[in-house]
Structure 1
Amino acid sequence: MTGLCDGRVVVVTGAGRGLGRAHALAFAAEGAKVVVNDLGVGPGGDGGSLGPAQLVVDEIVAAGGEAVAHGGDIATTEGAASLVAAALEGFGRLDTLVNNAGFLRDRMLVNLDEDDWDAVMRVHLKGHFLPLRHAVAHWRAEAKAGRAPVARVVNTSSGAGLLGSVGQGNYSAAKAGIVGLTLVAAEETGRYGVQVNAIAPAARTRMTEQTFARTMAAPGEGGFDAMAPENVSPLVVWLGSAASDGVTGRVFEVEAGRITVMEGWRPGPTADRGARWAPGEAGEAVRKLLARAEPAQPVYGAR
């Protein structure tokens, strides 16, 4: 390892398993001190235990690194505040926040209960906002005190948030919201020395085991396991390091050995009448514009 994150203190939410665990271990391997947050809940948000977070801490310590476990609910003000406090009290500083925690409550829209909607919005969207808010408040105070931080935030969106996913209306909406939050946060916090980016990862975790069931069986040529969560972590570590200077407000799709800069909504073909359209004229103009536009990307799971 190169020591890319020597001296940095990194918080990773949802780090007891899957992608979060891979991120925490990868940061530690590059010299970071890590706060490992996890509620220890099931794939649908049920139950809870500090056990998974502590196991990751034990792995890091056994490898010669430094880490502490945090079992607070980061979708509450108290939990998010205590998360930042855990970094400051445990290691004296905070440099990087990786928002990763989440779970699924998949249903087709006509079967999607309000509770399923609220639970997914809470853990993904609110669970990104509150840790981000408390971390930025700390970094702003540092900047105003003349201690300009080299701070990094890596948020976790999804291809579902970029293109939509059949049967995941709640998850897709939450992950799309994370992209919007990322763009606003990058613009608002840059003055304090904070860079904010998002990833849209594809990897084998408890949340995706059904989706990737066909690709889970065996590694490919050379023993490369394309769906291993560890494939995503190198980009996250780099984005969370000082080496990513100048990269902010971006969304990256990352899967296996592939990294893609995702380019969002941009103006396409335009018609300007210079006056109010009649409904039929507006419709005719739209059809002409669509004929010149790039075709829409298909929603995941679309037939």
Structure 2
Amino acid sequence: MTDQSNPPANPPGDPGQTPISDKPFYDAWGDDLKASATIVNAKSAEDVARMYLNAEKRLGVPANRLLVVPDKVDDAEGWGKIHAALGRPDTVEGYQVQLGENASDADKAFVDKFLGEAHKAGASPAVVAAAIGVLNEATAQARTDAEAADKAAAEATRAALDKAWGDKAKVYDSEIPALLTQLGEELDKTLPEGARLGDVVEKLNAEGMGNSPTLLRLLAHLADSRAEPGLPGGGKGGADRGMTPDQAGAARRALEADPVKGLALRDRTHSLNKDVLAERNRLLAIETGKA
């Protein structure tokens, strides 16, 4: 007799029974997923999900934050995404570079070119800021060095001219700027408006020519030749204007080589000996700074 009190849960052919499928859980997935050994070896979709979470834990970041390095160096779009993710701004202006206060036009042109190349190479703002910082330091140091060199050159020139000119240096200090101004004005009358010198003294100093002993000696000689006769320091016959040690030395050597005065200087019995000797001693005192 059959026990009817405990019938089978799902008798064969019962429509409530869930049939067991022979198809894998990924059967409806794309072919690329079906071709993955990782998917094929998984036992269920839950296994796949767990593998995904474990991968994120190993990588330390979610998959959507991972960067994919392009396979080709000329993949501009791919590398652009990498550079953008690492902080490169969309445009060169995004670097917001700050140059030093005294940056020259050449400095600005160099930086503009540098920023363009840096942007192409994918440089981040931090990298560009560091490079510009080095540039600012270098240009500031170069400017300091140049100022120190100019000061040293000016001091060396002053010392050389003080030695060559002696007390007459004060005369030239006032005459040379006045002479340059006069020459500049004379030249400006012959030049078109845009080519005029203006303040020629200021321009010569800016060009470094104000520290040229050769130029200053030439100008001193020109100042002597243009001085008006009869006035203190006049040109021809202007002995009262004074002589520089260099001029006195040249005059002394000329006196000693003069056929008449030289002979009188060496011959104590000569009628002009005392006068020539006195003149030579006066020149020698100026030459040696003992006048």
TM-score (norm: length of structure 1): 0.21
Larger gyration radius, structure 1 or structure 2: 2
Determine which structure has the larger strand proportion and give its number: 1
Determine which structure has the larger helix proportion and give its number: 2
Higher relative contact order (CA 8 A, sep 6+): 1
